[in-house]
Structure formats: C-alpha cells, structure tokens
C-alpha cells in the first residue's frame, strides 16, 4: 500500500511539473492526462497549481462529453437613411473536446434614399470567418467567439441641380469586427443565445443556435 501511494504521489508530481512546462505541447498533454484522475480532490488540488496560461489550455480543451451543431446568424440593420436589413448565417460544430469549428459566409447589404433633392446610397459586403473556444462553467458551456469579420462598404451621395444628379461623396470604407462575443450552450439550445449591439442608426445582432437534441 505504501508503495502504491508513493507511486501515485510521484505521478502527480510529474503531472504538476508537466502542467507548468514551458513547452506548450507538454502542457497540453498534461491537461488530457489530468482527466485520468477520478478523485475530485486530486483534480481540485492539481488545478490550484495551474498557471493562468495552463488554465486557458484546459478551458480550450474542456471535455463536454457530447457534440453540438447549429448556426451563427448575423443580422445587420440600419434604421437611419438609407435603411436596410440584411442577414446571413454560418455553420458551427462543437466537438467532444470542446473544439469549435465555424463555416464562412458573406452578407451583402444595400440601401438607397432619394427625396428628389438629395440622394444617398450605402452598399457593402461583410465577410465572416469566425473562430471560437469553449470554457466549462458549472453545468453549462461558455462559447467565446471572435467575429473575424471584414467590412467593405461604399457610400455615395448626390444632389439635384435642376437638370442632373451631381456627385458629392463617393467613399470606400474598410473595417474589421473582432471585438469578441460570448454565448452560452444552454441558451443556444433553448432557442438561441444572442449578443446585440444597438446604436441610434441601427443594430448588429449575433445569434447562436444549437440543436437541442444533441
């Protein structure tokens, strides 16, 4: 019995050393080895020893014991002139180890207003290539998403001089959305987990929906 206890303690010490190893691949393997311990007290003690970066590795590879699939929808709405309302969605798959894989997609939008004296047109394309990681929060799973969305937009304005439209502005704008989104699996399976940004001119709404039967 003493021999087995000493051997177990030796293995735990090795695991602790590996969890703090400067080599990322060694730390990652140690996280997977951590799952071999059934004793919750042992696991809690080990987690206490983890550095922040190692906790991130553990979170990124959390074993959620099931797969999930669904969609991430983007709705881009402008209520100011010119008004438009466009949407698109990309696929999302969450693996058993908590890995998140998104599809890619595009959203095209266009709005034009003309009051006879002044005309404005706004058009553009959003290119979506999201990435994500997962963190286990009690019985739930938090899904952190980077939008990784590029914006290419054109704004044009004209005024009527009595006989023809005279161009006032013709500008191309590029931007990147990557502020970060946070969703929860329980909400995503119960109809949708939503993050919305609202301004006076309109809104951007992201909704993650996962198959409730998975």
> Which ranges of 61-182 would DSSP assign to H, the alpha helix?
none
Tell me if 44 sits within 8 A of 37, measured CB to CB: no
Q: Within this chain, do residues 140 and 169 fall inside the same structural domain, yes or no? A: yes
Range of the domain at 111: 68-210
Q: Within this chain, do residues 9 and 53 fall inside the same structural domain, yes or no? A: yes
> Which ranges of the chain would DSSP assign to H, the alpha helix?
2-19, 24-34, 40-48, 52-60, 185-189
Q: Within this chain, do residues 35 and 81 fall inside the same structural domain, yes or no? A: no
Q: Whole-model pTM?
A: 0.70
* pLDDT at 35 exceeding the cut of 60: no
User: Which of 101, 154, 153, 158 has the alpha carbon at shortest distance from 130?
Assistant: 101
pLDDT digits 0-9 by tens, 43-66 = 555 555 554 444 444 444 444 457
- State mean pLDDT over 192-206: 95
Task: Tell me the sheet residues that pair with 182.
Answer: 144
Task: Tell me the sheet residues that pair with 68.
Answer: 94
* pLDDT at 24 exceeding the cut of 80: no
Place of tokens 């010119």: 82
For residues 100 and 61, give the distance between their C-alpha atoms in angstroms, rounded to a whole number: 10
Q: Within this chain, do residues 23 and 52 fall inside the same structural domain, yes or no? A: yes
Q: Within this chain, do residues 51 and 155 fall inside the same structural domain, yes or no? A: no
Q: Are strands 118-128 and 131-137 parallel, antiparallel or unpaired?
A: unpaired
Q: Within this chain, do residues 37 and 80 fall inside the same structural domain, yes or no? A: no
Place of tokens 């002044």: 118
Q: Within this chain, do residues 55 and 73 fall inside the same structural domain, yes or no? A: no
- State mean pLDDT over 102-109: 98
Give Cα 210 distance to the centre of its chain: 14
60, 85, 101: which is the final residue of a domain? 60
Give Cα 161 distance to the centre of its chain: 48
The chain-wide mean pLDDT, for the chain, equals: 83
Domains: count for the chain: 2
Q: Within this chain, do residues 82 and 125 fall inside the same structural domain, yes or no? A: yes
Q: Within this chain, do residues 88 and 54 fall inside the same structural domain, yes or no? A: no
Tokens found for residue 73: 């929808």
Q: Within this chain, do residues 89 and 35 fall inside the same structural domain, yes or no? A: no
Neighbours of 54 (CB within 10 A): 22
Report the percent of the chain where pLDDT is more than 90: 62
Give Cα 23 distance to the centre of its chain: 27
* pLDDT at 10 exceeding the cut of 80: no
For residues 170 and 68, give the distance between their C-alpha atoms in angstroms, rounded to a whole number: 45
Structure confidence at residue 23 (pLDDT):
58
pLDDT digits 0-9 by tens, 144-186 = 999 999 999 999 999 999 999 999 999 999 999 999 999 999 9
Q: Within this chain, do residues 28 and 132 fall inside the same structural domain, yes or no? A: no
17, 33, 60: which is the final residue of a domain? 60
- Beta strand spans in the chain (E): 68-78, 84-94, 100-102, 105-114, 118-128, 131-137, 140-146, 149-160, 165-177, 181-184, 193-199, 202-210
For residues 137 and 161, give the distance between their C-alpha atoms in angstroms, rounded to a whole number: 62
Q: Within this chain, do residues 39 and 76 fall inside the same structural domain, yes or no? A: no
């Amino acid at each position: 019995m003493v021999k087995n206890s000493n051997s177990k303690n030796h293995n735990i010490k090795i695991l602790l050393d590996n969890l703090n190893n400067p080599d990322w691949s060694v730390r990652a393997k140690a996280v997977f080895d951590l799952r071999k311990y059934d004793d919750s007290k042992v696991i809690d003690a080990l987690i206490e020893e983890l550095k922040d970066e190692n906790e991130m590795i553990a979170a990124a590879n959390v074993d959620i014991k099931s797969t999930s699939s669904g969609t991430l929808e983007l709705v881009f709405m402008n209520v100011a002139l010119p008004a438009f309302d466009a949407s698109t969605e990309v696929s999302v798959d969450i693996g058993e180890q908590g890995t998140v894989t998104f599809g890619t997609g595009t959203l095209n939008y266009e709005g034009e207003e003309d009051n006879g004296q002044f005309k404005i047109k706004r058009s553009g394309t959003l290119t979506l290539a999201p990435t994500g990681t997962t963190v286990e929060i009690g019985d739930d799973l938090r899904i952190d998403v980077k939008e990784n969305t590029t914006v290419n937009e054109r704004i044009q304005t004209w005024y009527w001089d009595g006989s023809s439209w005279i161009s006032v502005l013709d500008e191309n704008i590029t931007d990147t959305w990557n502020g970060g989104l946070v969703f929860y699996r329980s909400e995503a399976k119960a109809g949708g987990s939503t993050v919305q940004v609202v301004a006076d001119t309109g809104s951007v709404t992201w909704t993650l929906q996962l198959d409730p039967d998975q």
